[in-house]
Structures are given as C-alpha cells and as structure tokens.
Amino acid sequence: MSQTVESIVRCIREKTGFVPRVALTLGSGLGDYAGQLRDASEIPYRELPGFPVSTAPGHAGRFLLGYVGEVPVICMQGRVHYYEGYSMDEVVLPVRVMRALGAETLFLTNAAGGIRADYRPGDLAMLTDHISCFVPNPLIGPNDDAEGVRFPDMSHVYEPELQELLMSAARETGVTLKTGVYAQLTGPSFETPAEIRMLRTLGADLAGMSTVVEAITAAYAGMRICGISLVSNLAAGITGQPLSEEEVIEAGREASDRFTRLVTAAVRKM
Ligand code: HPA
C-alpha cells in the first residue's frame, strides 16, 4: 500500500471502524443518491491528508459511510477527474483507499454522452466493457506486487454475475436498463462530431470523462466491478444541439427516482 493510501486509511480509522462491502461512486448530477444511506456518517475529502478534492460541478466532496438495506456501503459523493489537473495517481487514489478500507465491490456511476442510435437522453445503460486508450493507464509506473500483477487481465472487467444482478434489479424495479461500452476521454472539452463518429466505429456506445481508469485500478486490485451510465445527452453531432454541463446536471435530476430505485435494489443484493 502506498504511504498516501496508508496515511489516509489511518486518518479514516481514527474516525470510524466502519468496514464497507460495496464502494459506490456517484457521477455528475447523481450525488443525491447519497441521501439514501441509512445511519450515514460523513468524511469530507478535505479532512484527509493528500486526498484530491473535486472541483467539478455537481460533485460534493465527501465520503458517506452507511447502509443500503443491510449492506455496508462507502459512497463517494463527488469524484475527481483527470481534466481537473490531478495526476492519474491522484484520480484513482480514492479507489485504492476504499479497497484498503475493505470494499470488495466497486459500483461506478457516471453521466455520459450517448453514441448508439437507440439511446435517448435519460436512459440508464449498464457497462459491459470499456475503451481506455484515450487516457493514460493508471497502472503506469513501478508495480506493487502486493497489490496486483504487472500485466492484469482485462477480459471481464465488469463482472458477468454483477451484470446479471443489475439486470435482475432492473426487472424487479421496472426500470429500463440498456447496455453499452463506455469510452473515457480526458475532457474537459466535449467531443467533436468527427470524434464521436470515430468512437462509434471503434465500438463505443457511451463517451465520458471518468470511470475507466477507476475500473482498471479496481480490477487490478482484485475488486468486483459494475457500472451504470446515465445518458445525459446524445453525443456531439447527433442532434446538432450544443452540449452543456447544465444539461448533464438536469438529466441527473430527472433520472434521480429511477436511478435510486435501481441502485438500491442492486446494492441490497451485493
Ligand atoms: N461527452 C463526454 N462526457 C460527457 C458527455 C458527453 O457528451 N455527457 C456527459 N458527460
């Protein structure tokens, strides 16, 4: 474990002995879900030495530790992004911290631009795979063999059993859940229409600015991973409308009830 992770974990352990099973990262506009946690205690990121603090809109900066049903959950209300100027090490540090606290499962959520023709704004899509090659790999650098192997397998990043669990939670709650392959780009500029055509040709269904590097780090560290994108807008060039951050936040508000029902039903089974 790196010294930074160790000192952050020590700092958290001075406040609480809570051992999470599930780590839940809330994407842009989806942070209100944190209000669903029962008996929650809160730890602002700024109280943790060396912890990156989000500057992105729609991202509060704190951990919430509490229960969904009987499942102990650590929830990130606000994540940091590479485009904020943090190093890739800093961007994935929270995943390492949550793992070190005991979380076995990482549930990633985000807002994304929808590339596939059958998406509509407001759709929820379960991640089946990702494309990482437009952002630096978070594992570049010396390898800590105690944490994971040098060349980790990425054949099944989004665990098939967790995908089934999400689909069954969707059926139970009556929430329509599509599927998709997510490509992470650095941002902060949205893509051009030509870039979206390129991504479509490459097999991407969703474009966003997070998630993949966190998933790589978690897969490396042996966590089980699943993810959901909220299609906050159709990707650049599809409707011809300009894209904006307000639209992303508003889509989160609109999807909040469906997102909450689905995530709660899924986490209860984890
Ligand atoms: N592109 C990239 N990231 C995004 C988008 C998009 O269209 N919408 C929300 N996050």
The preferred substitution site among 209, 211, 212, 234 for testing ligand 1, maximizing ligand atoms within 8 Å of CB, is 209
Mutation to probe ligand 1, out of 243, 247, 249 (largest number of atoms < 8 A from CB): 243
Give per-residue pLDDT as tens, 91-134. Answer: 999 999 999 999 999 999 999 999 999 999 999 999 999 999 99
β-strands 62-68, 124-131: how paired?
A: unpaired
Q: Whose CA is nearest to atom 9 of ligand 1?
A: 112
Q: Say if residue 212's pLDDT is above 90.
A: yes
The number of C-alpha atoms within 13 Å of 59 and in the hemisphere containing its C-beta is 23
**Given pLDDT bands bounded at 50, 70 and 90, which one contains residue 257?**
very high
**pLDDT category, 59, cuts 50, 70, 90?**
low
Q: What is the CATH number of the domain that holds 81?
A: 3.40.50.1580
Between 20 and 242, residue with greater pLDDT: 20
Q: What is the mean pLDDT of residues 210-235?
A: 97
Task: State how many domains the chain has.
Answer: 1
pLDDT tens for 149-197 read 999 999 999 999 999 999 999 999 999 999 999 999 999 999 999 999 9
Residue 118 Cα to ligand 1 middle (Å):
17
Is 230:30 a contact under the CB 8 Å cutoff? yes
248 against 267, higher pLDDT: 267
Ligand 1 centroid to Cα of residue 209, in Å, is: 7
Parent domain of 195: 3-269
Name the pLDDT band for 201 (thresholds 50, 70, 90).
Answer: very high
Least confident piece of the model among 38-42, 55-59, 190-194, 245-249 = 55-59
pLDDT at res. 40: 92
Mutate to test the pocket of ligand 1, among 229, 232, 241 (most ligand atoms within 8 A of CB): 232
In this prediction, residues 135-161 reach a mean pLDDT of: 97
Among 6-10, 77-81, 148-152, 186-190, which stretch is predicted with the lowest mean pLDDT?
77-81
Q: Which residues, judged by CB distance below 6 Å to any ligand atom, belong to the binding site of ligand 1? A: 111-113, 190-191, 207-209, 232-233, 235, 243, 248
